[in-house]
Amino acid sequence: MERFAEFCIRRRMLVLGIILLITLFFAYQVTHLKVTTVFNDLLPQGHEYIKVHNKFRHLFGGANYITIVVQVKKGDIFNRTTLEKIRYISEELYKVPAVDRFKILSMAVKKMKKIILDAQGFRVVPVMLEIPKTEEEMAKFKLTIYGNEMCYGPFISFDGKKAMISADFFDEEIDYQVVFKELQRIRQATEDENNIVAIAGEPIHYGYVRESVQRVNLILVGTVLIILVVLYLYFRSKRGVIVPMVTAAVSGIWGLGFMSLVGYNLDPLVLVLPFLIALMTARHSMQLCARFLEEYSSGKNIQESSQIIISSMFIPGLTSIITDCLGIALVAVAPIPILQKIAISCAFWSIATTVLALILTPLILSYIPGSRRLAAQLEAIEKQRKKLSLWDRVLPRLGRWIVGSGKWVVVVVSVLLTIWGAIYSEKLVVGDMMPGSTLLWPFHRYNIDSLRISFAMPVLCSLYVLIEGDKELSIANADVLRDVYRFERFMRNAFIETGRVIFTQSIVSILPAMHYINKEGNPNWYFFPTSDGELLFNYRWMFNDTEPGDIDKFIDTKEQCTNIVIFCRDKTGETIRLVMEKVREYINNYSHLGKGVTVKSGLGEPAHVSYRLAGGAIGVQAAVNEVINQSQIWNLVLALGGVFLCVMIQYRSIAAGLILTIPLCISNLIAFALVNTLKSNGKSIVMIATTLTIGLIFWVFSTLKFQAQMGALLAVLLFLNMCGALFLVPSLLAIFKPKFIRRV
């Protein structure tokens, strides 16, 4: 290390030139970095639910589904002004890029039909060919809607004050920012004093997120300014401020440039993580600056001091960085593309910190000449050493207490806190805790709209359960259709037990009405056909008598796959868990199809038919929740194991690995802080931890709730790491007195 340090300082122009060229290369790459959300990156593509979702989303719709509810404050929707707004919104949706035109549904589109039985026979016509002009026509239209089970309930609320419009978008083609602007335009054109237009769904959700991220620039500026102030208060010199910020800025260029180079996009949802990596670079640079001042104040010149901090701190710093890199890389255990991409990018970023913090910092310091200000500062430091400051009075006493009579107090308190944390960790729910978006604040317009829709028209959170056959016309079988009907009834009854399922829809939902109409409108015949012949007759009549696109949401044109849609109360983790449990209960215990049976298709050929899980917003979220639940324990175990291994190798001691892993001082302080005395390192630990914590706590003011919570969580973790380094590590060393301390 001494020869390496000597080479770096002697050939510093060459080394700096190489770093500069690499920085310029990555800076060019940054200009091509896309800051956007790729929907498929948010999903665990290897999960069975996502495979089903990807296979059938073009048929039945994906997770990019929006719901628009027009709600009146006074009266009901059956007035010309409101009906015109409903028609306007329905027609404007056809113009929005990436929309699936066959899946735009409302009372104003031609797919919404009514069946007329008169002297001419049966006719299927749109429910709203034109808007009623007179009060008499409006009253008749109102009765028509209330008598149509396709409209009343699913698309018109029971109190008549709300009407729903829904649409789906193609996942590969959607540009969230464009769709968001179009939906906002439609809202502004239709909302007035008496009509509220509520919009919810992933396309507008991510649009709001992107809009909020644009305001993060203010937070970044504020964070940088506060860190500059804190650095100046600690170092009282320009070099102590400028050098860490320069290395952090170069680190940012390298990391973002790498992401662009390998073709990754920067998702706004994880913007705080790259910021944290840059802070880590600043942290290491701060430590080297502090050590530089110590060496320079002892009488060494600028270049000697710079060389010493490379030779003495490179290996400990490298150990810390390796543990950082390992912990970040293990995030990729969860098979979710966005996490894997951020893990790879930030792992490279951490490795780059080795060059930028441990080599670039000393090189920059070696070029900054001594000054009167530095001499005065060092003189003040020397005087301060002779004069007992608050740190000098408090820390030695605290240190003596921690390694003396207080060591057992610290350990007991730590054990009690660990037990308390373990108990509460069992109550951790994977998934959303509240309805609406957990990325946005509770009173954000999106969450207000989501709650309004959930209470008025609970169709925002849908689960797709599919039945697929291996032959054409597999669904055209009486046993299959009856199983769909029984499954719907089972899930509707699940509302009584769980309160989570609101209602269901499928290809068989309308068959009781078809049966009733086929019996000349006799209400005694309003039930699901009991004989195979009548059931298949009504099914075939419905299938053949609809226009293209009318029933695309429920069955494909080959009649090989059908979709049962289960509308849930919300998308919280508990709702998803309970609903999926009920779905599996029916399939495993009550279904005639079970996990797969052979039936006769509509062509008379044997066809293998089985249930497939799952699609829709609930199915996609269920896959994410299951993957996170399965991978989080492995991630924690592997991360702690990696830290233990790195520390054990560094100190050549199993005891060192255990002592520094137990308090979860994972990477912030384990290598830089030798713990034989609190007096020599306590101030440095507090200085670094508070600087990083203050830098992160500014994110609490983010307009994105997710970023605010992430910043607060990381700040709390850093604070706890500091407490572990100050209290628990010295106490454990005093109790166990491991052999590696003697070598140190």
Is the pLDDT score of 678 beyond 50? no
CATH architecture of the domain with range 1-31+215-369: Up-down Bundle (1.20)
| CA atoms of 83 and 166, how far apart (whole Å) | 16
Band (pLDDT 50/70/90 cuts) for residue 472 is confident
For 68, phi and psi rounded to 5 degrees? -120, 130
Higher-pLDDT residue of 181 and 102 is: 181
Structure tokens at 644: 């233990």
Higher-pLDDT residue of 518 and 29 is: 29
Contact 662, 727 (CB under 8 A): no
| CA atoms of 613 and 465, how far apart (whole Å) | 6
Structural Rg of the chain based on CA atoms: 33
- When pLDDT is averaged across residues 413-441 and rounded to a whole number, the result is 70
| CA atoms of 19 and 253, how far apart (whole Å) | 12
Q: What does pLDDT average to over the chain? A: 77
Contact 66, 203 (CB under 8 A): yes
Is the pLDDT score of 668 beyond 50? no
Is the pLDDT score of 743 beyond 60? no
Q: Which pLDDT score is estimated for 592?
A: 82
Is the pLDDT score of 435 beyond 70? no
Q: pLDDT tens, 209-245?
A: 777 766 666 666 766 777 777 777 766 677 777 888 8
Identify the residue whose tokens are 């059931």. Answer: 535
Q: Which pLDDT score is estimated for 6?
A: 86
Of the candidates 512, 712, 562, the one whose C-alpha atom is nearest the C-alpha of residue 59 is 562
Give CA separation, 559 vs 112, 512, 592, 603, 683, in Å.
21, 20, 19, 11, 73
Q: Which pLDDT score is estimated for 55?
A: 83
Give CA separation, 595 vs 467, 470, 490, in Å.
10, 14, 17
pTM: 0.69
Contact 350, 326 (CB under 8 A): no
Contact 518, 540 (CB under 8 A): no
Q: pLDDT tens, 553-609?
A: 888 888 888 889 888 877 778 888 888 889 999 988 888 887 778 877 777 788 888
Q: pLDDT tens, 526-545?
A: 788 888 888 888 888 777 77
| CA atoms of 718 and 715, how far apart (whole Å) | 5
Q: Which pLDDT score is estimated for 676?
A: 33
- Lowest pLDDT segment from 153-162, 445-454, 735-744: 735-744
Q: pLDDT tens, 503-522?
A: 888 888 878 877 777 777 77
| CA atoms of 472 and 560, how far apart (whole Å) | 5
Is the pLDDT score of 696 beyond 70? no
For 591, phi and psi rounded to 5 degrees? -70, 140
Q: Which pLDDT score is estimated for 85?
A: 92
| CA atoms of 296 and 306, how far apart (whole Å) | 9
Is the pLDDT score of 416 beyond 70? yes
- When pLDDT is averaged across residues 40-46 and rounded to a whole number, the result is 78
DSSP, collapsed to helix, strand or coil, labels residue 553 as coil
Q: Which pLDDT score is estimated for 214?
A: 63
Is the pLDDT score of 101 beyond 80? yes
Is the pLDDT score of 684 beyond 50? no
Q: pLDDT tens, 324-377?
A: 677 667 666 667 787 778 778 877 877 787 777 788 888 888 887 766 666 666
Of the candidates 33, 8, 32, 29, the one whose C-alpha atom is nearest the C-alpha of residue 18 is 8
Domain locations in the chain?
A: 1-31+215-369, 65-169+175-206, 402-431+652-744, 445-624
Q: Which pLDDT score is estimated for 84?
A: 92
Structure tokens at 328: 């970040």
Structure tokens at 686: 């507090």
Structure tokens at 620: 């996609």
| CA atoms of 170 and 511, how far apart (whole Å) | 30
Contact 187, 197 (CB under 8 A): yes
Of the candidates 124, 126, 128, the one whose C-alpha atom is nearest the C-alpha of residue 85 is 128
| CA atoms of 551 and 167, how far apart (whole Å) | 14
Number of Cβ within a 10 Å radius of residue 283:
25
Q: Which pLDDT score is estimated for 523?
A: 75
- Lowest pLDDT segment from 172-176, 281-285, 575-579: 281-285
